[in-house]
Amino acid sequence: MPWTRTTDYPILTRRIPCAPFGNPKDRRTIWIDDYLKAPAQLGISTAAGTLPGYGALRKAIETYTPDELVELVKKANVRGRGGAGFPAGTKWSFLPKPDAQGDGGMRYLAVNADESEPASFKDRLLCDYDPHLVIEGILLACYACRVPVAYFYIRGEYHHQAKVMELAIRQAYDHGILGGNGLFNGATTKNRNQPWRVDLYLHRGAGAYICGEETGLLESIEGKRGWPRNKPPFPAIKGLFGKPTIINNVETLAHIPSVVENGPEWFAKQGCNSSFQGAPPSWGTKLMGVSGHVNRPGVYECDLGIPLRTLIESKDYCNGIRNGKKYKGAIAGGISMGVLGPDQIDAQMDFDIGRKYNVLGLGTACPTIFDEDTDMVAVARNIARFYKHESCGQCTPCREGSGWLYQLLTRIEAGQGRSKDLDLALEIATSMGTMPGTTICGLADGNNWAIQLTTPPPR
């Protein structure tokens, strides 16, 4: 059955011109004066909503109690766009219930803008050009979860993006949206006589991949070495500074304003349902940053479920593989997700991709495309080199295994491999990671899935 796009207009990128809806050369950063205007005033199609910037936030605090907003997001099945695809509303509901006074004690929101997964650059687009959309999503999450303090944790290499977000945060303070007397200079919420105040702080990382893991991120914010924590306790119970904490990705939060404005039924019209009974659907659109051997790399906003072939070959998107070469393979969503082979070009880019095509998952949905001349042994060796360098070293299987995999693949690439090296590489790869239960975090899983799917079984 041929795939058809369900939306003829952008949602996350309606202020950021992206193909096929706009010309990337027309991009500019939307500062608060423009963000507060209605879409029609900016020449934007109103199909995705008519409220001005921060209009969804005002609607939420005037219309919904925090618990009602959590249920709204749960009903929309907004799944995490950072890698795991866990439903955001369900995650929010894990926070302990507030106490009888209604303040619930101290709790935090940590926004994951680390985006250190190689070949992933979709959150960067939002930070570069529409920072107030991200801030509005953050404030909606803070209101829903009764969070008074949020930390925006941004990748250390994102120097320009950090400056953009810092200026946008300052503008939100100056306009009385953040801090001061509370949201919108003291607007009262539906179920409280007093306003809800939120403070937002930007925290820059130091360039460590491991700090993209949620508990490593929390350790880094606390000023410690970015070592992932053992779980349980989970962050929703004991997170930042020992208090209940929610961690969400930038793109996930950027979806919340449109859900509040248009409703979960509208959100469900985009994307696709799950192929597996009882599994949550893949609703909504997704930013997909495509790189590699394509004619037009870039970030595209697509319905979840778009076939990889359509993303690669359509003139609306990447316009084919460069120099007219054939497709050889792809990494579907960041190098930790594993490799799709030559016969999997029709894979649907949704959250069921892992179960359907034997990869780790959709991840960031930023595929890297390889043409027919790509040396996949060199790809596997480079992935192993990266993980060897970025391992925090806490877990012996990851610390030692990643080094051994790199040595084996380097020897194979140099033409000095032995047949037993393939057996040894697969043995090491399948013995490290959270799936066999030998490591604290999933860094080793990303390493071993890449090796398993690029190393042919010995004959």
Q: Which residues contact 171 (CB under 8 A, 6 or more apart)?
A: 31, 32, 132
pLDDT of residue 434: 84
pLDDT for the residue numbered 188? 78
pLDDT at 198: 95
Identify the pLDDT of residue 115. 93
pLDDT value of residue 3: 66
What is the per-residue pLDDT for 358? 86
Q: What is the pLDDT of residue 459?
A: 46
The dihedral built from the CA positions of residue 363, 369, 117 and 402, taken in this order, carries a sign that is positive
pLDDT value for 101: 43
The number of beta carbons lying within 10 Å of the beta carbon of residue 32 is 20
How far apart are alpha carbons 274 and 459 in whole angstroms?
37
Q: What is the DSSP letter of 324?
A: G
Side chain identity, residue 303: D
d(CA 155, CA 115): 6
Could you tell me if 373 and 382 are in contact, meaning their C-beta atoms sit under 8 angstroms apart? Answer: no
DSSP class of residue 299 equals E
pLDDT in tens, 429-459: 888 888 888 899 888 888 888 777 665 544 4
Q: How far, in Å, CA of 242 to CA of 10, rounded?
A: 40
Q: Is 185 helix (H, G, I), strand (E, B) or coil?
A: helix
Q: Which residue has the tokens 């950063």?
A: 29
Determine if the pTM surpasses 0.75: yes
Amino acid 105: pLDDT? 77
Residues of the chain predicted below pLDDT 50? 100-101, 457-459
Closest CA relative to residue 31, chosen from 167, 234, 138, 194: 167
Please, what is the Cα angle at 354 between 350 and 356, to 5 degrees? 85
